[in-house]
Chains A and B, each alone.
Chain A
Amino acid sequence: MQKRVSLTLREALSMLGSYARSRIVEQIKLVAFIIIYLAAFQVIILNVPLANALSLAGGIALVVLGLAFFLEGLILGLMPVGERVGLKLPARVGITVIALFGMLLGFGSTLAEPAISALRAAGATVTAWDAPLLYMLLERYTGPLVLSIGVGVGIAVAFGMIRFYYGLSLKPFIYTIIPLVLILSVIYTFNDNLSSILGLAWDSGAVTTGAVTVPLVLSLGMGVSRAAGKSSGGGFGVIMLASAFPILAVLVTGFFINSFAPDPVSEREFFSQSNRENAMLFFTSEEGLEQHAFRAGTEEARRALYSDEESYLSALALLKSDLASSQLLLGPMSYSEWLSMRASPFEADYLAQLEWGYDHRAAERVDLQSLIKEEGAGALQAVLPLCALLLLVLLLLRQRLRYGDEVALGITFALIGMALLTGGIRLGLAPLGGQVGAQLPRAFSTEEQFVERVVIEDFSREILIPSVDRDGNRIDYFHLAEDGEMTRVLFQEGRYDPGAGRYEHVITRSPMFRPDISFLGIALVLLFAFGMGFGSTLAEPALNALGRTVEELTVGTVKRTDILWVVSLGVGLGLVSGVSRIMFDIPLMWLIVPAYIVVLFLTWYTDDDFTSIAWDCGGVTTGPVTVPLVLAMGLSIGSELNVIDGFGILSMASVFPILTVSAYSLYARMRQRRSIKQSMEDQS
């Protein structure tokens, strides 16, 4: 019997302390860049103070803790189980069963970690009249869309397992499927409806592989690859396939749904009574149509929806008088978001005169309890079914885990970590990104933007603070108290109604640069995009897991930090091109096709092992940290420029890392060969 070392409580606590400290410090180092970058950008460059600093700090602390727990959970629990299953399967069952299991795992992972929420967020500005097919896929036929993506990922994992089993190179797969989806995409550009789903298709490829799926699939692949004993990329390559097949799946699904999707029409025509039958093709109920008019439409849409002025105004009034009706009409959008993004000056004016019928500030506050519940449920859904599936397989194979208690602890850590991470992102990182994103359009807009209209009742001239300019002209100010903070406001005579004792305060956003130097603003936005992509990718847990696996398989020849830096550089460059696409309205295919041609060219010269790693890096970059930040920025810029959707940024953030990692591998190989050759020449 093996002896057991007994530790004193003090010794145990000291070991636990240094263990926890090292894990947390490691995550702080990874997260520090993006936090400091976002905060500094907002405070120093955009010159806007951080709002809700305490809540942001709390959220960021949760992100750090969440990442530490989640990564430790992956290392202790999820990855050893995945690898064990991968090792055992080839010894006990044939390739058909392995492929079927891979298909089930891939399909299950798509359902467990639904990418659809990220895709819906990217398509939040999509309208049913401008892009009917895209809207149908995102909102009406979400089920078939998710299923088709799931089938795509399932087939990809099955192909991955077959590849490992027979030791096939990834390159033939790349040179088959990537040109196929590229050609299909180019053909789609010739049809208005079909071309609208290209962004969705390519982004779905980028977001399908989540933070739990990536490590599980990687470790499973590593196991099968080791057991098969053939050189096939050491477990890498499945993520690439799981990114490419969903693109094909979405393109095919879109093609079928296009057969009954209406053509694009004008906004007024879409909501008109005569088009009601067609419009209801997009929604299951009248409420859906109403919500779409409020969330995506302009005043014109709402007027067309309601037959008369009276019902239009009463619907409008519900936004301020009844919380339930407001939520029904606006969905997840808050009243203030709607007011700044969708309301016309007339609607804002009309609503400003109405009294609140409910506590609107409480309604917009994040409820911590419900946040914990939601994120906890999401974490359970993401982690437990996949782990249960793998553990069940181990049970069927009659395999005992040497460190069962460690695996159980690891799965618990992963659950806690996932909940803390996603909660922290919602509470800290996403609002921080959102604050910067909301201010970002100031950098390149050339005129003042309306933000909000506030009507101050019982206003009196007595509160005015007089001052004078250099020419002796009198200027009056007053202080506006809001949420315990004082803001100095310039008093404008025209906005004061002495009879009613009412002052109308209009909040506007002024441009950062003069119109003649707005190119500086564009450069600033692109710089911001680069830094944000770079920083957020450094903190991506799936990339960390991949980096560790690369370091392990190459016995430290390729360091985890090298992979992190090179991939982050790629994501930064990808975001620059993605944001440029939105700002300059460049068709997505103009960027995707050349980028993939360059990548295919580099792949030709890259070693087989590194090819798999490079292409997998493209799939892991868009995870829980990057996606909310990227979307906050993309949507803010997109909404300023009235683009149809925010798609395309994620797919660009996916292709550029493949490019940078391939280039890095070619450089590393060249350097190594050169130094060895040089030394050989010196020796001979």
Chain B
Amino acid sequence: MNREAETRVKSPSRMVWRTQMSKGVNTPHRVSKVTCVINQHYGNTLTDHLKDLGLEDIYVESGRVVRKYLRRRPLGLPGKSITLQDTPVNIYRFTVPRDISRGVIRSVIEESGLYQPGRGTVFVQDLIEFYRTDPPRISESILPDVVEDRFVPVQKRLVTGLTYLTCVLSQPGSAEKLARLALELGICVPVVTHGSATDIRDQLGLIRITIPSEKEILHLVMPEQDSDSIARLIIEAAGLDRKGSGFIYRTPVGAGLPDILLRLGQQEHAATIEQMIAAIDQIKGDTSWRKRISPDHGRVSTEDLIPDHHCEVTAICHDDRSDMLIDAAIKAGASGATTSRVKKLVRREDEAGYAAQSHSTISVPAAIIDDVVDAMLEMSNRDYDGGDRIQVLDSPAAYVQTW
């Protein structure tokens, strides 16, 4: 069986774990990554809480969520006008041991009041991480009791059956268009961040100046069952089947609590549609009951455009190291990386005075994942004591158009 066929039947991240364990140079850690998107207004509360939990490395990125805003027409005219309204958010990312991940997100939800639609989204993803230490253990005595969901009150149950879709868009303004599409379809509250890309642009010589390096990144946490259909709609709407327009991939979500406040402004009924969706999600414990978006829609077929078995490799490191790590990945066959600026909230003593960090994500085909991770780890070890954080996460579907 050739290597490509082999990767089709196994989880690529597990393959990386095995390879690195057999080499014995770098020790991978099985961890859970917690991502929390929270309204900036409540950011300080969450920061204080995470510090109280004793978490050491928390990375914060700025972004915005887009919602529909409904208001009455002026001068008493009939009907309502619908516009899009942006709200600034902070995106917190940190890793915790897998066994306490649910407890951590429950405590985040409790502390930040994320049961209340409109405050934010939290979810957890299992991955392997290369870092000099294990994630810190948090005393379970300060976490809420982790019990089976069936014993948890309905309104506090976590939702499963979610997936995380990431779209990296080259054309300025595309994120707005796709956010509108997501809201129209009632998928989720879209989150937009900015980043810069090292991809096709770097392969063009000086004429690369004609392609903007700034990218808009759209993040969607949605029901897994619809992710392929939605991905296809997005590929068509943003023209991602054209070279250089951007790419899209999805990664699995263990559990979470998505924000479902799609609309702001005046409501007319006793319960909003969002409240009803949230209630049913929590009663059912997943999102599989929701309506399915037709997979037959559009010109792009799932089989043709969404090859399976990719991996998302993330490098979180000091700002000046990201270029080296990305170059190493590209030399090993990766097509490019998208880098966002993040701030490290709680710093170790030896890193004091330098908080500028980069969060670079690379979508890598499973066939070359070992080579890419090897190259990045080698570069990381060459002149640094493992301060770079490299994470590998399965990405069961991705659509990347390369030149």
Whether B133 is near chain A, meaning CB under 8 Å from some CB there, is no
B118 touches A683 (CB 8 A): yes
- Structural contact, A409 and B264, CB atoms closer than 8 A: no
Cα A247 to Cα B216 in complex, Å, equals 41
A683-B203 CB under 8 A given contacts A226-B355, A555-B63: no
**Interface residue? A642 (CB, 8 A):** no
Q: Are A557 and B64 in contact (CB under 8 A)?
A: yes
Other-chain residue from A227, A557, A675, A682 in contact with B69 (beta carbon distance below 8 A): A675
Task: Kindly provide the distance from the CB of B139 to the nearest chain A CB, expressed in whole angstroms.
Answer: 27
Residue of A2, A402, A552 near B194 (CB, 8 A) is A552
Residue A12 is within 8 A (CB to CB) of chain B in the complex: yes
Q: Which of B174-205 contact A (CB under 8 A)?
A: 175, 192-194, 200, 202-205
CB neighbours (8 Å) of B261 from chain A are 679, 683
* B210 proximity list for chain A (CB < 8 A): 15-16, 18-19
How far, in whole Å, are A672 and B87 apart by their CA atoms in the complex? 7
Task: With A5-B200, A7-B207, A19-B210 as known contacts, state yes or no: A228 contacts B88, CB within 8 Å.
Answer: no
* Given A5-B203, A226-B341, A227-B356, also A399-B320 (CB < 8 A): yes
B62: chain A residues within 8 A (beta carbon)? 553-555
A7 to B261, CA, bound (A): 46
Partner of A405, one of B200, B206, B319: B206
Bound together, the chains give a CA A1 to CA B375 distance in angstroms of 13
Residues of the A chain whose Cβ atoms lie less than 8 Å from the Cβ of B318: 91
Which of B86, B117, B203 is close to A557, meaning CB atoms less than 8 Å apart?
B86
Tell me which residues across on chain B come within 8 A of A12, comparing CB atoms.
Answer: 207
Interface check B289, CB cutoff 8 A = no
A226 near B320 (CB under 8 angstroms)?
A: no
Taken residue by residue from 260 to 275, chain B's Cβ proximity to chain A (1 for < 8 Å, 0 otherwise) reads as 0101111100001011
Q: Is A556 within 8 A of B203, CB to CB?
A: no
Output the nearest chain B residue to A229 by Cβ-Cβ distance: B355
A2 and B207 form a contact (CB under 8 A): no
- How many of B's residues come within 8 Å of A, CB to CB? 55
> Is B203 touching A2 in the complex (CB atoms < 8 A)?
yes
Q: How far is the CA of A606 from the CA of B263 in the complex (A)?
A: 27
**B73 interface contact, C-beta 8 A:** no
Q: Is the CB of A683 within 8 A of B117?
A: yes
User: Complex formed: what's the CA distance from A424 to B279 in Å?
Assistant: 64
Q: Is A91 a contact of B354 with CB atoms below 8 Å? A: yes
Chain A contacts for B204, CB-based, 8 A:
4-5, 7
B343 within 8 Å of A (CB atoms): yes
A-B contact number at CB 8 A:
123
What class of interface size applies to chain A in its complex with B? Answer: 35 or more
Could you tell me if B85 and A675 are in contact, using CB atoms closer than 8 angstroms?
yes
If the complex has contacts A226-B355, A402-B323, are A16 and B207 also in contact, measured as CB distance less than 8 A?
yes
Instruction: Decide: B330 and A2 in contact? CB cutoff 8 A.
Output: yes
Are A678 and B264 touching (Cβ within 8 A)? yes
Tell me if B194 and A555 are in contact (CB < 8 A).
Answer: yes
Residues of B within 8 A of A682 (CB): 266-267, 272
A365 within 8 A of B: no
Residues of chain B lying within 8 A (CB to CB) of residue A405: 206
Q: From residue B74, how far is it (CB to closest CB) to chain A in Å?
A: 15
Give the distance to chain A from B110, nearest Cβ to Cβ, in Å: 17
Query: Separation in Å of the A396 CB from the closest CB of chain B?
Result: 15
Complex CA–CA separation, A18 to B244 (angstroms): 15
The answer on a CB contact under 8 Å between A683 and B331 is no
Closest B residue to A14 by beta carbon equals: B210
Known: A229-B344, A684-B116. A406 touches B355 (CB 8 A): no
The answer to whether B64 touches A406, judged by C-beta atoms less than 8 angstroms apart, is no
Q: How far is the CB of B299 from chain A (nearest CB, A)?
A: 25
A683 and chain B: residue at smallest CB distance: B117
Within 8 A of B (CB), among A1-27: 1-5, 7, 12, 15-16, 18-19
Least Cβ distance of B46 to chain A in Å?
Answer: 15
Contact with B along A214-238 (1 / 0, CB 8 A): 0000000001001111100000000
Q: A21 to chain B: closest CB distance in Å?
A: 11
Are the C-beta atoms of B205 and A4 separated by less than 8 Å? yes
Answer whether residue B242 sits at the interface, using C-beta atoms and an 8 A cutoff. no
**Residue of B with least CB distance to A1:** B331
Within 8 A of A (CB), among B305-357: 318-320, 323, 327, 330-331, 341, 343-344, 347, 353-356
Question: Chain B: residues with CB nearer than 8 A to chain A?
Answer: 39, 41, 62-64, 69, 85-88, 116-118, 175, 192-194, 200, 202-211, 214, 216, 261, 263-267, 272, 274-275, 318-320, 323, 327, 330-331, 341, 343-344, 347, 353-356, 403
Given A402-B323, A557-B87, 12 more pairs with CB closer than 8 A: A1-B331, A2-B203, A4-B204, A4-B205, A409-B206, A556-B175, A676-B41, A676-B264, A682-B266, A683-B261, A683-B272, A683-B275
User: Could you show 20 A-B contacts with beta carbons less than 8 Å apart?
Assistant: A2-B330, A3-B203, A4-B205, A7-B204, A15-B207, A19-B209, A87-B320, A87-B356, A226-B356, A227-B353, A228-B355, A229-B355, A409-B209, A555-B193, A555-B194, A556-B192, A557-B86, A672-B87, A675-B69, A680-B116
4 closest A-B pairs (Cβ-Cβ)? Answer: A229-B355, A19-B210, A226-B356, A5-B203
